[in-house]
Amino acid sequence: MQFIKVALVGIGQIFLQENGLSGLIICIAMFFSHWALGIGCLLGSIIGTLTAIKLNYPKEEIKQGLYGFNASLAFMCTMFTFGLNGVSFLIFLLGVISSVVSTLIMREFTKRNWVAYTFPFVLTCWIFCWGISQIGLFGLWQTTPALADHTTTLESIKQPFYAWAEVNFGVSLVTGLLLFIAIALSSPIAALWGMTASIISSFIADCLFDIEPNQLANGIYSFSAILVACAFAGRRLRDFVYITIGIILAIFIQFGVAKIGLPPYTIGFIVAAWLVRWTKSKIDHRKVSLKKFSHLFNP
């Protein structure tokens, strides 16, 4: 029972939430988009957690779910890329391998105290999903369905929830709604900022680039913004500034990566969050330094 709880915490960490209940709701939500995504969501986290246990990774890190979320995303990405029209043993095996490899990469980050976010998943899937689909290795070709038309007025109103679903490759309104609820139960402020980010990011993307309206309506340029919001959610004005800067950076990065032909996945969120964290650390350090300097003249 404890192991399953840890695996569910790992799923919750996709949205940077150390919460098993959130992980359970996220897993259930994925079945409303496709059963293969639901299975992949749970199995990926289980495989990542098992890998970490067998390789004697730090117990506290395992308990925090740090080895579940990248593995979960990697398995879901494999299902999304190859398995939506039918899951074969080969596709299933590839999902297992992707989950294990992303866990190994995650450990290289934690050993060095580097913040990985979802980079291990992105790097793994650039190799095992995009790379394989480009050359048709083992007879595997991308089976990702075309985007549904959400450009009508009624559908466009639902855009924020489609954006939430897109974080996990989902396409269902119910999936997005449940993911929002999952995060709200863990961190209401993160959910609130995430919803705000999902709305304003599409407007920013539309202003910055000539993006096809249906991509915006499907939340393609909003899901990384949600993760940025979850990473920097807070109650101060500066948190709003950090989130806004992160959203703009994420959109630029995602657009640029897509233009060179790579699937962006969550790379926009990752690089934007790294840059914002670095900027934030410099500002915080400057504040401390100024405080110490002030004390020299005000003992």
CA distance 210 to 183: 31
For residue 142, name the pLDDT band (cuts at 50, 70, 90): confident
Asked if pLDDT for residue 293 goes beyond 50, the answer is: no
pLDDT of residue 146: 75
CA distance 289 to 286: 5
Common-topology check for domains 1-139 and 162-286: yes
Instruction: Assess if CATH 3.40.50.1370 describes domain 162-286.
Output: no
pLDDT of residue 69: 97
pLDDT of residue 152: 79
DSSP state of 209: S
Q: Render 81-122 in DSSP notation, one character per residue.
A: IIITT---HHHHHHHHHHHHHHHHHHHHHHHTT---TTHHHH
In the numeric block, which tokens belong to residue 71? 């593995």
Average pLDDT over residues 164-186: 96
Asked if pLDDT for residue 42 goes beyond 90, the answer is: yes
Question: What tens digit of pLDDT does each residue of 115-138 get?
Answer: 999 999 999 999 999 999 998 888
For residue 72, name the pLDDT band (cuts at 50, 70, 90): very high
Average pLDDT over residues 96-111: 98
CA distance 101 to 83: 19
Please write down the HEC assignment for all residues of 100-111: HHHHHHHHHHHH
Instruction: List CB contacts of 35: < 8 A, sequence separation 6 or more.
Output: none
Asked if pLDDT for residue 294 goes beyond 70, the answer is: no
Question: What tens digit of pLDDT does each residue of 201-234 get?
Answer: 999 999 999 888 889 988 999 999 999 999 999 9
CA distance 117 to 23: 17
Pick from 44-48, 81-85, 163-167, 240-244: least confident: 81-85
Domain boundaries, the chain: 1-139, 162-286
pLDDT of residue 290: 46
Instruction: Assess if CATH 1.10.3430.10 describes domain 1-139.
Output: yes
Average pLDDT over residues 55-84: 96
